[in-house]
Amino acid sequence: MTDLGTLGGTDSRGSGINNAGQVTGTAGLPFQPFQGLFPFHIFLYSNGQMTDLGSLLMGQALNDAEGLNDKGQVVGRSYNRGQFLPFLYSNGQFIDLNNLIDPTLGIRLFDASGINNNGQIIASGGGGAYLLTPVPEPSTLALFGVALSGLWGWSRHRLSVFR
């Protein structure tokens, strides 16, 4: 058994583990008397060390990590002025998942509870559960198309050399 520790506060809660043995969760920071809060931040525990990932929203006291994939991407929720906002933590940045969905759908998410190794996220809100699947950006698709056409040209050239 390994005590993961805290971020200087009195407690912590682990909520996700991946195949590399990394753990995510929520850990308390030291009491902040000027705010009257016991803030909680998201952490990633890896190689014997707990790292404070912070919060989706600056200065927010309530954060919950709920899922972790093998790429070290974390999902969960942050509390802000009476509402919960779902987040994805990836490549050192927090992203509000509501900013990634089409606003014309009229759906407001409040929680993200799991993420797989393909980056698919299970989220809740608007009266239901949703599967969020990443879509490549147009620039990524264009680059992929250039690579494919280059590979096609190379293979045609290579075939003509061996004829």
The verdict on pTM exceeding 0.75 is yes
In a shared domain, residues 59 and 114? yes
Note whether residue 1 is domain-resident: no
Q: How many structural domains does the chain have? A: 2
In a shared domain, residues 37 and 78? yes
More confident residue, 151 or 94: 94
In a shared domain, residues 106 and 53? yes
pLDDT greater than 90 at residue 120: yes
In a shared domain, residues 102 and 89? yes
In a shared domain, residues 31 and 43? yes
Note whether residue 7 is domain-resident: no
pLDDT greater than 70 at residue 161: no
Q: Rounded to an integer, what distance in angstroms lies between the CA atom of residue 53 and that of residue 128?
A: 29
pLDDT greater than 90 at residue 87: yes
More confident residue, 11 or 139: 11
In a shared domain, residues 44 and 123? yes
Mean pLDDT of 59-70: 84
Q: Give the residue numbers spanning the domain of 144.
A: 135-163
In a shared domain, residues 108 and 94? yes
Note whether residue 31 is domain-resident: yes
Beta pairing, strands 40-46 & 49-54: antiparallel
In a shared domain, residues 74 and 23? yes
In a shared domain, residues 123 and 83? yes
